[in-house]
Chains A and B, each alone.
Chain A
Amino acid sequence: AQTVTQSQPEMSVQEAETVTLSCTYDTSESDYYLFWYKQPPSRQMILVIRQEAYKQQNATENRFSVNFQKAAKSFSLKISDSQLGDAAMYFCAYIGYSGAGSYQLTFGKGTKLSVIP
């Protein structure tokens, strides 16, 4: 079974600084996708960035980038020039085949990010 581990329950960053959130996962698959979702206080799940496992190039979306280390099964999220609006829970997720007919997301427990003005 796939597992996703986020070892930092809480993090904080000064506004305009850079912060990195960690995520490790376990899978026996060779092709898969990884995601970072943001959940602000409104509780809406917002897709931040996704990474295809067969691509060696790290994904970037504006101020968000990932450091994907496939051999180490590590998938960290870097937020540059942090803004107050970045304060939220961040969930790392893996999509894999359930064995029962669906591709389902497996989520970590989340990292609560606070941004200090």
Chain B
Amino acid sequence: NAGVMQNPRHLVRRRGQEARLRCSPMKGHSHVYWYRQLPEEGLKFMVYLQKENIIDESGMPKERFSAEFPKEGPSILRIQQVVRGDSAAYFCASSPSTGYTDTQYFGPGTRLTVL
């Protein structure tokens, strides 16, 4: 039973390029969360999605960042026109439903480096 899959594990982009991060939730999980971990910090919530719907994007920067979770395929976190401050580890988590009783299981993360 595969866990949460993320790819790529490492991504290098130059300033101004686009970054696309992919996340496949655990089998049977339809709820996906994205978190960002800046250097020397804990993880911070960005966005919560269900299939074809963004439910809560209260932690997402207003510009350049977007997320989707299509009916088929992985969830995508997209960062347009990356800047050095976007360098971080981006983690995806999934759960079978949503509520405070539901444990979120994390993928291995994507480490984004912006040159």
| Stretch touching chain B among A11-19, A43-51, A65-73 | A43-51
Q: How far is B111's CA from A95's CA once the two chains are assembled, in angstroms?
A: 24
Q: How far is B55's CA from A99's CA once the two chains are assembled, in angstroms?
A: 11
Q: How far is B105's CA from A93's CA once the two chains are assembled, in angstroms?
A: 13
In this complex, the member of A32, A35, A106, A107 whose beta carbon has the largest number of chain B beta carbons within 10 angstroms is A107
A contacts with B: majority SS: strand
* Residue in B100, B105, B106 whose beta carbon sits within 8 Å of that of A33 in the complex: B100
* Residue in A31, A43, A45, A101 whose beta carbon sits within 8 Å of that of B100 in the complex: A31
| B12 proximal to A (CB < 8 A) | no
Please name all residues of chain A whose beta carbon is closer than 8 Å to the beta carbon of B43 when the two chains form the complex. Answer: 45, 91, 105, 107
Please name all residues of chain A whose beta carbon is closer than 8 Å to the beta carbon of B48 when the two chains form the complex. Answer: 98, 101-102, 104
Q: Which residues of A contact B (CB under 8 A)?
A: 4, 31-33, 35, 37, 42-47, 50, 52, 91, 93, 95-110
Q: Which 4 A-B pairs have the closest CB atoms?
A: A107-B42, A45-B106, A102-B48, A102-B56
Known: A50-B103, A97-B100, A105-B33. 8 other contacts (CB 8 A): A33-B100, A43-B89, A47-B105, A93-B42, A98-B56, A102-B55, A104-B45, A106-B45
Q: Which residues of B contact A (CB under 8 A)?
A: 33, 35, 40-45, 48, 55-56, 58-59, 89, 91, 93, 98-106, 108-109, 111
